[in-house]
Amino acid sequence: MNFYRSHNCGELNVKNIDQDVYISGWVNKKRDHGGLLFVDLRDEYGITQCVVNADNPSFNLIENLKLESVIKVSGKVLKRSDDTTNPNLPTGEIEVLSNEIIILNDSNQIPFQVAINDDSPEELRLKFRYLDLRREKIHHNIIFRSKIIHSIRTKMIDKGFTEIQTPILTASSPEGARDFLVPSRLHNGKFYALPQAPQVFKQLLMISNFDKYFQIAPCFRDEDARADRSPGEFYQLDFEMAFVEQDDVFKTIEPVLYEIFTEYSKKSVTKPPFIKIKYKDSMELYGTDKPDLRNPLIIKDATKCFENSGFKIFENNIEKGFPVKAIKAPKTAGKPRGWYDKLNDWARANGQKGLGYIIYENNEFKGPIANNLNQENLKSIKTLVDLENDDSVFFISDENTNAVKFSALVRNKLCDEIDLLEKNVFKFCWIVDFPMYEIDQQTNKIDFSHNPFSMPQGGMKSLTNKNPLDILAWQFDIVCNGVELSSGAIRNHQIDIMKKAFEIAGYSEDELKERFGSLYEAFKYGAPPHGGSAPGIDRIIMLLAEEENLREVVAFPMNQQAEDLMMRSPNDASENSLKELGIQLRPKKK
RNA sequence: GGGGGUGUAGUUCAGUUGGUUAGAACGCCUGCCUGUCACGCAGGAGGCCGCGAGUUCGAGUCUCGUCACUCCCGCCA
């Protein structure tokens, strides 16, 4: 009890009848009957109807008060008559008959409705984020976020993890994204970098004999945004364990994710152990390394079916070394011609020449491609994708990388079109056995395909004996409903293997020392084998809150251009600051 | 850096094949109203149709450019 409230706006009920109370909150709604005024007073805990009679000295004041003003209402709790109770409100059986009303802070005309959840322009919502955050849905998302993070923290600590903070102002580390730089005043011309992840620090903590480390870690990357990728900054459940193998990491984090997802959602959740899909298989079956397993469609390689088929377009492609991919669309033979045409248009809009298809109906193959093929080819296709009556099958042919990418799109599109996505379920899987190296598309040179911290499978033996492109890494991702939640690895903790790994990617020992100086040194003093992962907190919450966009689960997000419209960030630096930092601007020509 | 979508009142949206004075709902203002809870009734204000060119007798509508927001690709675990 203090000056402002004896109760909050959500707790009064029939037990409080006849009590003198005082409550404070925002004016959510007013209903003015001339001689009688209803005010819905709102705080975080609920809404209470306050009645203001015409003989109340504050009547005129409140009648003219703008919505979202903050007031304190003192009065008596009355039971509402049966015909005036509101079953939609927890406080709907009572009301507060106002006596004294104090305006604590009045509001200007609000730029968008707070009491109603309509679609306001995102630009306005971000500019007036404090108003937006009052609105029911997003307000609850932020509370939801807090609960989930609390729960994650408890579970990690219960599992024996130690929470440790690592520096924000640090040095550039070689994760691969662009760094945010912070100029140093004490060292003119030098810069701190914000961590892209606490990667190096968590490995150093392993070397420091912290057996199990975790942190709800802020990460900063200067890369372009997506709906599921905040520009600038985001949070990871960063964890690392000493003396572990890949399966130990899996066994540790699987129950945490399973429990979080079952506690905070009504959907059914994959039970541990989550299935493991090899990277290579995932690319082949789903065209992506983050497959949505709610989608039952799979991709088949139909290249052989079109060899010497008489269908010139694909045959020419095959001669160039391009594959043909096939995806069965079950029970779509009855779809009108327009449906197929529309998919064809969609394919063109996505940069393809078209989207071929064959319809299998009444034991006959139909459609433009079918007419070009002989029965033998058609039968091989039927067997390949297991065509049943009334199914159709779609074909993608392009240069391999494009074909794989586009077939993933087609797989999603068809699932969407035929409404095959399994509902009310979170489907987890591990993607494992990522390749250690890949060919850089631009330079045509061998480079690390993930980060260079991972241990190659087979260790030094693989590095010396195998074709680099055949070497797998102890590198894994966890994927849920097509969203990549995290990636992790068993790390490379041995200098000689590291030297060799870098040598293969074309980096000298000097470069290794330059980029990994701290780890390179530390590995000389007894580094335990270790590994870990870092699930994205924002993405987990986005999935659980069933939101399509990260901004809906972040209190103060930036827009897609990485601007904070409310704080007006980024902004110019004052001449004074620049001078002190020894920085002269070099404006880019547009 | 590239591609798609959107841009009309404070907000959500409608606006025909290019054709009078650009509409509706919510919000706002004024008045009325003692039982509403999406209160009701009557009246009213509010528009550089994102911006700039162009085509046309005539542009919210067509063309080009540009800006903003958003989604995607590139980039990024």
According to the 3-state scheme, what is the secondary structure of A519-572? HHHHHHHCCCCEEEECCEHHHHHHHHCCCCCHHHHCCCCCCCCCCECCCCECCC
| Residue A311 and residue A404 in contact, taking contact as beta carbons nearer than 8 Å | no
pLDDT average, residue stretch A249-261: 97
| Residue A185 and residue A172 in contact, taking contact as beta carbons nearer than 8 Å | no
Distance in Å from B64's C1' to A341's CA comes to: 31
What per-residue confidence (pLDDT) applies to A20?
Answer: 97
Q: Which nucleotide is nearest to A65 (CA to C1')?
A: B28
Distance in Å from B16's C1' to A332's CA comes to: 36
Residue lying closest to nucleotide B32, CA to C1'? A34
Q: How far apart are CA A278 and CA A218, in angstroms?
A: 30
Q: What tens digit of pLDDT does each residue of A561-588 get?
A: 899 888 888 988 999 999 999 999 887 6
What per-residue confidence (pLDDT) applies to A44?
Answer: 96
Q: Which nucleotide is nearest to A87 (CA to C1')?
A: B37
Residue A90 has pLDDT above 80, yes or no: yes
Q: What tens digit of pLDDT does each residue of A401-416 get?
A: 888 888 998 999 899 8
What per-residue confidence (pLDDT) applies to A446?
Answer: 87
Check residues A43 and A319 and name the one with the higher pLDDT: A43
Closest listed residue to residue A329, CA positions, set A362, A306, A295, A289 = A295
Q: Which nucleotide is nearest to A49 (CA to C1')?
A: B37
Residue lying closest to nucleotide B6, CA to C1'? A121
User: Could you tell me how many helices (H) and strands (E) chain A has, helices first?
Assistant: 16, 24
Residue lying closest to nucleotide B37, CA to C1'? A86
Q: What does residue A551 show for φ and ψ, rounded to 5 degrees?
A: -60, -20
Distance in Å from B58's C1' to A112's CA comes to: 37
Closest listed residue to residue A72, CA positions, set A4, A20, A12 = A4
Binning pLDDT at 50, 70 and 90, where does residue A533 land? very high
Binning pLDDT at 50, 70 and 90, where does residue A372 land? confident
Q: What does residue A294 show for φ and ψ, rounded to 5 degrees?
A: -70, -20
pLDDT average, residue stretch A243-261: 97
Widest CA span of chain A, in angstroms? 94
Distance in Å from B10's C1' to A344's CA comes to: 43
Distance in Å from B55's C1' to A349's CA comes to: 29
Distance in Å from B65's C1' to A183's CA comes to: 39
Indicate yes or no: pTM above 0.90.
Answer: yes
Q: Which nucleotide is nearest to A83 (CA to C1')?
A: B35
Q: What tens digit of pLDDT does each residue of A17-44 get?
A: 999 999 999 999 999 999 999 999 999 9
What per-residue confidence (pLDDT) applies to A213?
Answer: 98
Distance in Å from B70's C1' to A226's CA comes to: 10
Residue lying closest to nucleotide B73, CA to C1'? A350
pLDDT average, residue stretch A352-378: 87
Structure tokens at A184: 């140093």
CA A458, distance to chain mean position in Å, is 33
pLDDT average, residue stretch A149-178: 93
Convert A85-134 into a string of H (helix), E (strand) and C (coil): CCCCCCCCCEEEEEEEEEEEECCCCCCCCCCCCCCCCHHHHHHCHHHHCC
Torsion angle of C-alpha atoms A161, A165, A171, A172, degrees rounded to 10 = 50
Which residue in this structure is represented by tokens 């009688």? A36
Q: Which nucleotide is nearest to A565 (CA to C1')?
A: B69
pLDDT average, residue stretch A277-285: 94
For A279-363, strand residue ranges (E) read: 299-301, 324-329, 356-361
Q: How many residues does the structure list for chain A?
A: 590
Distance in Å from B17's C1' to A350's CA comes to: 32
Residue A590 has pLDDT above 50, yes or no: no
* Strand B nucleotides with an atom less than 7 Å from a protein beta carbon: 1, 4, 10-13, 26-30, 32-40, 68-77
Residue A374: what residue type?
A: N
Give the strand pairing for A324-329 and A483-490: unpaired
Q: Which nucleotide is nearest to A351 (CA to C1')?
A: B3
Among A67-81, A171-185, A263-277, name the one with the lowest average pLDDT.
A171-185
Distance in Å from B34's C1' to A61's CA comes to: 18
What per-residue confidence (pLDDT) applies to A38?
Answer: 96
Binning pLDDT at 50, 70 and 90, where does residue A348 land? confident
Distance in Å from B58's C1' to A436's CA comes to: 67
Calculate the average pLDDT of chain A: 92
Q: Which nucleotide is nearest to A450 (CA to C1')?
A: B77
Distance in Å from B28's C1' to A348's CA comes to: 48
Residue A218 has pLDDT above 60, yes or no: yes
Q: Which nucleotide is nearest to A55 (CA to C1')?
A: B34
| Percent of chain A scoring above 70 in pLDDT | 99
| Residue A45 and residue A11 in contact, taking contact as beta carbons nearer than 8 Å | yes
pLDDT average, residue stretch A50-59: 94
Angle ∠(A144,A229,A291) on CA atoms, nearest 5: 95
Q: Which nucleotide is nearest to A53 (CA to C1')?
A: B34
Residue lying closest to nucleotide B35, CA to C1'? A84
In terms of average pLDDT, the best of A60-74, A337-351, A440-454 is A60-74
pLDDT average, residue stretch A117-133: 88
Distance in Å from B73's C1' to A561's CA comes to: 16
What per-residue confidence (pLDDT) applies to A589?
Answer: 55
Closest listed residue to residue A122, CA positions, set A132, A108, A134 = A132
Residue A133 has pLDDT above 70, yes or no: yes
Residue A521: what residue type?
A: E
A494-517 core/surface letters (b: 16 or more CB in 10 A; e: else): bbebbbbbbebbebeeeebeeebe
Distance in Å from B28's C1' to A551's CA comes to: 30
Residue lying closest to nucleotide B74, CA to C1'? A224
Q: Which nucleotide is nearest to A81 (CA to C1')?
A: B35
| C-alpha to C-alpha distances, A252 to A132, A264, A340, A375, A532, nearest whole angstrom | 38, 19, 47, 53, 10
Which residues have a Cβ under 8 Å from the Cβ of A391 and sit 6 or more positions away? Answer: A328, A329, A330, A331, A332, A333, A360, A385
